[in-house]
Amino acid sequence: MPRTFLVCSLLVLLAATGCGAPAPAAPASGTPEVISAAEEARGEPAADAVDACALLSEAEVEALIGPNGGASPTTGGGDGGGCTWENPENYHSVTLDVGSSGTAAAGVLPPLDPAFGPEQPLGDGMRALAGAVEFVAADRLCLVQVATNDTTAEGDEQAAVRLARQVRDLL
């Protein structure tokens, strides 16, 4: 009888652990499955979605990052939109994200998630956020980042603030 109990116990244990077979690996974050799931979660862009690529001219982007492959739109779902420009030689880039309507209720920045650390206000209703500039245009939460490692007086952050003001005025 003890032998039967032992065999049954082992069978139950093996069945519970999947017979020792490894669990299927989760897809990596850049795989088509994950990208598709992320796009599906954001939803389809609305017919009146913002064309963020049209908010900055190729000339002003090239003045910041040099020759680039042109504007690359990103979908934000709803009526928001985004765009990225990247210089393939040095990986300098400009990224613009325009949130959907209502993402900045009453036209003010929402409270900062404490995980980002202390808030870094930039004035004019903007704040620094992980190397980017967050701002509000109408009732949309927006973000712009200039990434060139520019250490001059203009600097990446100041260039982003200038672009944020421009985009805010256009929206």
Determine the pLDDT at residue 35: 38
Nearest to 54 by CA among 71, 69, 66, 67: 71
> Hey, what are 3's tokens?
């032998």
| C-alpha–C-alpha distance, residues 24 and 103, integer Å | 37
Determine the pLDDT at residue 46: 58
Furthest-apart CA pair in the chain: how many Å? Answer: 84
What stretches in the chain show pLDDT beneath 50? 1-42
| C-alpha–C-alpha distance, residues 77 and 5, integer Å | 57
- C-alpha distance from residue 148 to each of 9, 71, 85 (Å): 62, 17, 12
Q: How many CA atoms lie within 13 A of 148 on its CB side?
A: 22
Contact 64, 94 (CB under 8 A): yes
Beta strand 126-129 with 93-98 is: unpaired
Determine the pLDDT at residue 153: 64
Determine the pLDDT at residue 49: 86
Domain boundaries, the chain: 7-40, 46-170
Overall pTM > 0.85: no
Write the Ramachandran bin of 59: left for phi over 0, alpha for psi from -120 to 50, otherwise beta: alpha
| C-alpha–C-alpha distance, residues 127 and 112, integer Å | 9
**What is the identity of the amino acid at 26?**
A
Query: How much of the chain, in percent, has pLDDT values that exceed 70?
Result: 70
Nearest to 132 by CA among 104, 164, 105, 109: 164
Nearest to 55 by CA among 6, 5, 8, 94: 94
Nearest to 71 by CA among 90, 52, 91, 89: 52
